[in-house]
Structures are given as C-alpha cells and as structure tokens.
Chain A
Amino acid sequence: GEDVEQSLFLSVREGDSSVINCTYTDSSSTYLYWYKQEPGAGLQLLTYIFSNMDMKQDQRLTVLLNKKDKHLSLRIADTQTGDSAIYFCAESGANNLFFGTGTRLTVIP
C-alpha cells in the first residue's frame, strides 16, 4: 500500500520559518494535502497542491512539490505560537486518502 512518511517533531522559534517535510510512494497521486490538527481538535485542511504543480503559495504558507523525488514540503513563514499543532501530509491514491504520521510543530516564544 501507499506509504507517507514524515519526521515526528519540529521545534522553531517564534518569527522563524518552519519547514515540514514529507515523502510519499504513490507516483499516481493526483492531489497532495497538508492538514493541521490543533490540540484536542479534529483535522482541518490547510492547503493542497495538484500534482502537476511545483509550488503553491498562500499567504504565509508555501508548498513545494518535487514529483521526481516524491517529496512534499510545507514552509510556514514568520511562525507564530498559534501555529503549534500536528501537521499531516496526505496523498490521494487511486481510490483512497492516505496520511503520514504527522509532524508535531512546537513554536518556542
């Protein structure tokens, strides 16, 4: 089956940029997603990128896709304490939606 991998933890100082990385195995993925889970809450879609794009920018968020290496990253500029959460990478397979293990981002004031 599809495998989506992420590092488990990331700590950054407030105001710095955060980069969360993800690798996936399904080369036929059409969309790749970033979901955010705040403490005690469900997952919410943060942003997504279509597989024929290399980059997508949305305010403080930049998504980079390297389809050749099956590598996806999420950059958060000017990271704030409110960005502390678990970030999940997900890929849409042929008939399903697969998630990574999640990266817990801790923002240090």
Chain B
Amino acid sequence: GAGVSQSPSNKVTEKGKDVELRCDPISGHTALYWYRQSLGQGLEFLIYFQGNSAPDKSGLPSDRFSAERTGGSVSTLTIQRTQQEDSAVYLCASSLGVFTEAFFGQGTRLTVV
C-alpha cells in the first residue's frame, strides 16, 4: 500500500475484554513503532521493532500489553483485560531505519466502556 494502514479505525470494547490492533507498515520499512496518544498526554512510546532484533518493549505500561511483528511486516498490538484508562488513540509508524522519516498511520481510537 501507499502508506501505513491501521485497523480498525475505531474500536469500542467492554472493560475486561481483550482487543487486537493491527498495523500494516510501508513495504520494505524495517522499523515499526507503536505509540499511544491520550488527551492531554502527548505521544507515549509503547514498543519498537527493528528488523530481526529483539523489540524494545520498555514503553509497555503493563503486562496486559503485548505486541508482535510477524515476518518483519504486519504488527499486532494486543491489550488483555482492557481497562478504562486504556482508552486512547493508538498510533503505528514505520520507517526505513531509526534515523529516517517515520510515517504514521491514522491510528485506532480505542474506547473502553
């Protein structure tokens, strides 16, 4: 595709349910990032994948959050037992490398009710 694609664009879920958010990066981009954007909180780093290296998971807020990247391409962010404070826009970005421009998807707006 032409850009970074995220799905779904909106997700409403009940507290306690698990959700999966998907990111399709730009073909050939080896770096993939997940960020969370909460109202008034700015852009919070969650996890970073670079090629075949072990991901940098240092930003994941709790063990309810996990992410994987299959075949060096598509990534899935999973939130287990969702809580209301997980409500936010989850942004995915990809780049050719850490020092090159990061291209962002439109984000998934997650609402936990």
Contact = CB atoms under 8 A, between A and B. Distances in A.
Interface of A: 1, 6, 8, 30-31, 33, 41-45, 48, 88, 90, 92-93, 95-102
Nearest to A102: B42
Given A42-B104, A42-B105, A95-B50, A31 B99 contact: yes
B91 A43 contact: yes
A30 B41 CA distance: 25
A96 B45 contact: yes
A41 B3 CA distance: 13
A96 B47 CA distance: 9
B104 A43 contact: yes
Interface in B22-43: 33, 35, 40-43
Contact of A101 (B42, B45, B58, B98): B42
A96 B95 CA distance: 11
B56 interface: yes
Contacts of A1: 58
Contacts of B58: 1
B60 interface: no
A8 B42 CA distance: 9
Contact of A98 (B41, B45, B99, B107): B45
A93 B48 CA distance: 12
A1 B60 CA distance: 13
- Considering the complex of A and B, which 7 residue pairs feature the smallest CB-CB distances, nearest first? A101-B42, A42-B104, A99-B43, A43-B104, A45-B101, A102-B42, A42-B106
B77 interface: no
Interface in B53-88: 56, 58
26 contacts: A8-B40, A30-B99, A31-B99, A33-B101, A42-B4, A42-B104, A42-B107, A43-B43, A45-B101, A45-B102, A48-B101, A88-B42, A92-B98, A92-B99, A93-B98, A95-B48, A95-B56, A95-B98, A97-B102, A99-B35, A99-B45, A100-B42, A101-B42, A101-B43, A102-B42, A102-B43
